[in-house]
Structure 1
Amino acid sequence: MTRFMKTYAAALSAVICGTIAFSTNAAANESYTVEAGDSLWTIAVDEGVSVQDLQNLNGLSNDEIHPGTQLALPETITNEERDLLAQLVHAEAVGEPYAGKVAVATVVLNRVNDNDFPDSIRGVVYDVTPSGHYAFSPVLDDSIYAQADADSYQAVDEALAFEGQGQGSLFFYNPETAENNWNATRTETITIGSHVFSK
């Protein structure tokens, strides 16, 4: 876990409800040269970094960028963490709308930044609840080990790019299949498809 990941606690857009503080493909202190047609959003998604962190790191007060500008890139999560998160998204959100896939990724990233959860993606994914169960059912039934599809990887990258723009969801559940009503006692942030997200 990098200092960056531990320092920043952020939030995902209200549309997909959560917080993030990571990126996936660039190493710390790498840079990116802005090309014609680029926006901070497209750079953030392509590089797996937060739009807000791009702005903060480069002293930008708005979204305006120009071709030829060198942008420093924020620190990143590893490719292994990205793979694991995409596998969880794939297993948890198969058949769900794309926004729901982004929201599932966001929940994991939010937990990494929350003091009540482990401080790494792997730690969160394999976390065990106080009742002794895995926090995510795909870990229990081994569906997490299936190959993630392209949508799941894209959802992870978009979740990473939304850092600082939302409500901080930490939980999700399907009220039709949930075995207990514990999640229903949380503050609901949004419903996407069959999943209710909460904090």
Structure 2
Amino acid sequence: MTITEKDRDVLARTLWGEARGEGLAGMVAVAWTIRNRVNDGKDKSWWGEGYAGVCQKPYQFSCWNRNDANYQFLSGARAIPFRELAQCRIAADQVIDGKVPDPTGGATHYYATTMPKAPDWTAKAKRTLKLGNHVFFRDVP
């Protein structure tokens, strides 16, 4: 698969929107969740095609929902602080380039513990990791 500059940029912006307060380890874990969706082994994935397609699939990563407070930054209407975006780009590049192992154990889903309650889908999924304010899962029905 050819990785474009758009893929790298959209992944970095997604990490800013989803995990900027989680440090490099948390951003890497979220990026691996996205990579696991990108590499799900199917020619035409339900998740979307490439990193940009997976990140911007409607209703998968809330930061890309138009009514989310992060959207104005991700869309470019407002600037993301340079240093914050630079850290997100480092995490994105490390995961895309395979320079760091998957700490999530193959997770394709996560949720933030700041949510009022865990999503229903977690009941039948395999929990693989809790890191910071995120809990990661695979084998989600």
Q: Are 2:55 and 2:61, in contact at CA under 8 Å, matched by a contact in 1?
A: yes
SS in 2 for 1:121: helix
Shift of 1:119: 2.6
Shift of 1:164: 9.3
Aligned to 1:136: 61
Shift of 1:144: 2.6
Distance 2:100 2:20 in 1: 26
How many matched pairs? 120
Aligned to 1:152: 88
2:131 matches 1:192: yes
Distance 1:120 1:144 in 2: 18
Identity %: 33
> Once superposed, which parts of structure 1, at least 4 consecutive aligned residues long, lie more than 3 Å away?
161-166
Shift of 1:180: 5.2
Aligned to 1:113: 39
Q: Let me know the Cα RMSD of the aligned residues.
A: 2.3
Distance 2:113 2:97 in 1: 29
TM (norm. structure 1) is: 0.53
Which amino acid in structure 2 is aligned with residue 193 of structure 1? G
Name which of 60, 80, 83 aligns with 2:9. Answer: 83
Q: Are 1:113 and 1:119, in contact at CA under 8 Å, matched by a contact in 2?
A: no
2:112 matches 1:174: yes
Aligned to 2:28: 102
Aligned to 1:32: none
Aligned to 1:14: none
Distance 1:108 1:118 in 2: 10
Distance 2:60 2:97 in 1: 25
Gaps of 5+ in 2: none
- Bigger Rg, which one: 1
Higher helix share: 2
Distance 1:173 1:197 in 2: 7
SS in 1 for 2:128: strand
